[in-house]
Structure 1
């Protein structure tokens, strides 16, 4: 998933599988009145989103900002609990065939939409067909996430026109049958992801339903009750939600402030209950001080995400692999994490981060990232000269690095540009863009170098590796390599974990060492501040945050 916030990686606590961390302090700062009673606390959570979500259409979502809000408004067949285990969502229970190909989900009778309609198996069929339909416009970026389902890829590519041949079937209103083309151990957890959310069928013919609170019908714990562009998003408890008795918050107020300094000031002033990643940010230069000032409220948690710079392989001068390699080698990652981001992150030389499962341990432990390339100023200069000669350049075209509006991204972009100037003698302009514009610019390949971040959608290397396949909806680099595509296809079909690891390792070598499509910078952590009386917030292994079961203790 595309990441918005600048996070920092301090600890690797994601050993082997999914690890989630509660974001609340273990200590309570409850204050009591003289008679011994507690002051009732209004159950209104106040957080900040540092960028405005482009849409609330689950089929079109692709970023962490949207994910945070969608989690409050929608629910999939399953959910993930605070320990990272799959638990029931709309599906009360399920059955999986011995060969791992057929899943039967039994939907709960009391699952309802916010308008009182029952949530049925047909709502899932409708939503998933909409994701896969090649006529859906704009094209859902995550349609490939449904390719595990038999016939889904063929239908999405127009090779199969009869949707009844796709392995998605409503046997009755409360039974959804899904047939996979290959056994996929992580498929069950994947159904908690937003691309798999159901959608109310009233959206047909209403192009504005995903941006209009009055026409948005949801099935999650909250409903959208206010969206003032550039200012505020508000969600209110959904009284139709099947598990409403376990939802303690009455409302979540989300300000839309792009400034990390303003967000931190608002937190200190008591205007926010939670600050920092993944929705906002704490200014990097203030992280050391804040961690000492508010030790009980400061949290730094390792997550499976990678920060990187992406090259547009179709734009001059980065159509040349040697020039891409020169720019990647010229970055001093240790200097960046020590002097710019200041959070103790781990420099990244691969794309799959720590915390992602491999064969019998973490993939990053089994496949080291130290062999792909080395930072080397002399080699970078040599490669740049060779690449320019191959392209017939006497001087490079004007180069611009784009990043989404953020003080942290700006500092890193300036530092990277200075390194390219110092090592390569190349002037690189930097340009910030508002989040929605930034995504559109990347999607349209209207850039040369772009800041990027990717967090896991499920705990497997595939969630990082398949986005670089030809034509993938999240491949914003223009990259296409049949050899890479073939390796990812083999990994998708391989049941032997050791062989699967080998395929991923070969593919990552092509991506990073041979073709240098991206320049990895560092592996993330989630850095945040949480008021002592805020409890029940959970952060999953990827850095996605869930506020639905949060609550505020009495003060």
Structure 2
């Protein structure tokens, strides 16, 4: 994802109380405090592209489907659905559900919301997640009106959805934030600012926001209007915003927070030894994004040389210290392939060799072929990263490797998270730190972001054959054909190398042992809906 969102407020933070009622179970379940790190750029379900803010959103909203305590897809706002024989038409039957202000959730809410998500005027980076729906891509490209989206409210409780082609994971997508409903009347009245204020942040999910203090905390409480409120164990959640890893660890060890998500790299060995650290595999990749519009990064040989000159295992062991796995390709392990039980990564193999010395020799050769023997004449580039977390240590290691192996100088620069995201999205960088965690369990969640028309393609890379293969994989209902197309697409990506995979994510966190029922979503979200604290 992943895959950190609200326009950053510059005024003095003010606590605003939510006027809607919140549930009180009468239990002795204590508030749970989770540190989400930096202040989110937005918590608008359609505009967010960050895992941390997504963790807020999945507590507050619910799609047509949802994930249960075991991460399995279950009925959400839709109590049931029908799928046509050819897999291109879904009919969802909505249950009697309410928004947090008591108004009914209707099929019309979904029609409005999905049209809003694909409307180019909205600027949703995740609009492409709806391109499976008929006409969605053409709408995002400005070729058709949002009203022509293949979704229709038959009545208040019946929603018809027409797809461009069968999509095996469509019910996973309907549980993803970009397909969550929002309220037309609220957004028309308050504009983009609706998500900045607890009073206007009307939700349809298990929790409501009662306080939002910029750069400090977001407080969520159990909603008394949620249809399945009796299944929700958490009464109150406090999402803090401690961006410095050392401060976060101190707060956790002092008992001030219950969950720390970014322990300092230098403390990881101690925390492992003391048995405090939890390590979970994550469906995502840490990588560097190369702006191919900036010379000499417009040369694939230069990009490949930079990729080969990095010692991934060294970074994992000495810089990140995070028990991750070196990434010699793009799609992480854990994604299915065509044959039942097979893994896309194992089938596809590696595109970067594991022999680092051979990689360096190849990198030197490629750089010379590109016109920069031993780095001579190579311009100084800037590697940009966000200041939060341990990205500086990793960047320093890479900087040294490029200097020692290729004879090139790279300057390091950092920005605060919200500013950094905007800089990267606008293409105002040369090399930028990036990370992506999947949004559903299929290789497409990693591959379609590099389609030339994807809102997530920060590398600004374009390849017509790659686009064709991605579009073929999306249209086909044949799993073998889909996977073959995606393997070919990944090969093109790793040959052109607009990105440099560094490692496959693992999620390292600290959690209060008094908390039970916490659910870890391998897609990156931290879910406390079913959690209790003694």
> What is the TM-score with the length of structure 2 in the denominator?
0.91
**Partners of 1:329 and 1:373 within 8 A in 2:** no
Equivalence map 1:40-79=2 (5 Å): 41-79=28-66
Which residue pairs with 1:173 in the alignment? 156
**Which residue of structure 2 lines up, in the alignment, with residue 404 of structure 1?**
386
Q: Distance in 1 between matches of 2:353 and 2:309?
A: 15
Write the mapping of 1:353-372 to structure 2, written as runs, cut at 5 A. 353-360=332-339, 361-370=342-351
1:154 Cα deviation (Å)?
1.8
1:488 aligns with 2:470: yes
Map 1:461-472 to 2 at 5 A. Answer: 461-472=443-454
Equivalent in the alignment of 1:131: 117
Task: Output aligned runs, 1:421-436, within 5 Å.
Answer: 421-436=403-418
Work out whether residues 286 and 504 of structure 2, in 8 Å CA contact, stay in contact via their aligned partners in 1: yes
The one of 482, 496, 504 equivalent to 1:523 is 504
In the TM superposition, what is the alpha-carbon distance from 1:264 to its structure 2 partner? 1.2
- Summarize the Cα distance change of 1:230–1:332 in structure 2 as closer, same or farther, 3 Å threshold: same
Residue 504 of structure 1 deviates from its aligned partner by: 1.1
Contact 1:43 1:248 in 2 (8 A): no
2:273 aligned residue: 292
CA distance in 2, matches of 1:525, 1:101: 36
Q: Residue by residue, what CA displacement relative to the aligned partner does 1:481-507 show, whole Å, maximum 9, x if unpaired?
A: 111111111111222222222211111
Corresponding position: 1:152 with 2:152: no
8 Å contact kept, 1:3–1:452: no
Instruction: Indicate yes or no: 2:101 matched with 1:115.
Output: yes
Cα pair 2:388 2:416 within 8 Å, conserved: no
Report the counterpart of residue 219 of structure 1 in structure 2.
204
Is 1:204 aligned with 2:185? no
* SS of residue in 1 equivalent to 2:212: strand
- Counterpart among 205, 208, 220 of residue 235 in structure 1: 220
Matches within 5 A, 1:312-327: 312-327=291-306
Task: Give the Cα separation in 1 of the matches to 2:516 and 2:314.
Answer: 36
Measure, in 1, the Cα distance between the counterparts of 2:349 and 2:64.
36
**How far apart are the structure 2 equivalents of 1:212 and 1:167?**
32
Structure 2 SS opposite 1:204 = helix
Aligned to 1:474: 456
CA shift, 1:322, in A, is: 1.1
Q: Which residue of 2 aligns with 1:257?
A: 242
Inter-partner Cα distance in structure 2 for 1:129 and 1:162: 5
1:380 matched residue in structure 2? 363
Shift of 1:338: 1.7
CA contact (8 A) 2:2 2:438 kept: no
Question: Paired residue for 2:527?
Answer: 546
| 1:346 maps to 2:332 | no
Which residue of the partner structure matches residue 13 of structure 2? none
TM-superposed CA distance for 1:236, in Å, is 1.8
Instruction: Write the distance in 1 (CA, Å) between the matches of 2:361 and 2:348.
Output: 27
Conservation of the 8 A alpha-carbon contact between 1:52 and 1:65:
no
Which residue matches 1:7?
none
> Which moves more between the two structures, 476-485 or 86-95?
86-95
Shift of residue 65, structure 1, vs aligned partner: 1.4
CA RMSD, 1 decimal:
1.8
Q: How far off is 1:200 after superposition?
A: 1.0
Q: How far apart, in 1, do the equivalents of 2:498 and 2:93 lie?
A: 43
C-alpha separation between the residues in 2 aligned to 1:288 and 1:123? 49
User: What is the CA deviation profile of residues 120-161 of structure 1, one whole-angstrom value per residue up to 9, with x for unaligned ones?
Assistant: 11001010001112232xx11011111111121122222223
Gapped regions of structure 2 (runs ≥ 5): 5-26
Query: In the alignment, what sits opposite 2:7?
Result: none
Contact 2:469 2:486 survives alignment (8 Å) = yes
SS at match of 1:210: helix
The secondary structure found in structure 2 opposite 1:224 is strand
The count of corresponding residues between Structure 1 and Structure 2 is 505
- Give the distance between the partners of 2:523 and 2:510, measured in 1 at CA: 18
Could you tell me which residue of structure 1 aligns to residue 74 of structure 2? 87
Contact kept, 8 Å, 2:168 with 2:477, in 1: the verdict is no
- 1:19 aligns with none
Q: Is the 8 A contact 1:350 1:372 kept in 2?
A: no
What is the aligned partner in structure 2 of residue 182 from structure 1? 165
Cα separation, 2, equivalents of 1:41 and 1:450: 46
Shift of 1:371: 5.6
**1:385 positional shift:** 2.5
Whether contact under 8 Å (1:189, 1:458) holds in the other structure is: yes
Distance 1:472 1:124 in 2: 23
Secondary structure of 1:529 counterpart? strand
In structure 1, the gaps of 5 or more residues are 5-39
The answer to whether 1:269 aligns with 2:250 is no
Higher alpha-carbon deviation: 487-496 or 172-181: 487-496
Answer yes or no: is 1:439 the counterpart of 2:421: yes
Does the C-alpha gap of structure 1 residues 212 and 338 become closer, same or farther in structure 2, counting only changes over 3 Å?
same
Change (3 A) 1:228 1:162: closer
Q: Hey, what does 2:19 align to over in structure 1? A: none
2:284 equivalent to 1:305: yes
**Higher mean C-alpha deviation, range 214-223 or range 538-547:** 538-547
TM-score (norm 1): 0.88
Distance between the aligned counterparts of 2:74 and 2:64, measured in 1?
9
Which residue of structure 1 aligns with residue 308 of structure 2?
329
CA contact (8 A) 1:372 1:509 kept: no
The question of whether the paired residues in 2 share the 8 Å contact of 1:182 and 1:493 is answered with yes
- CA displacement at 1:42 relative to structure 2: 4.5
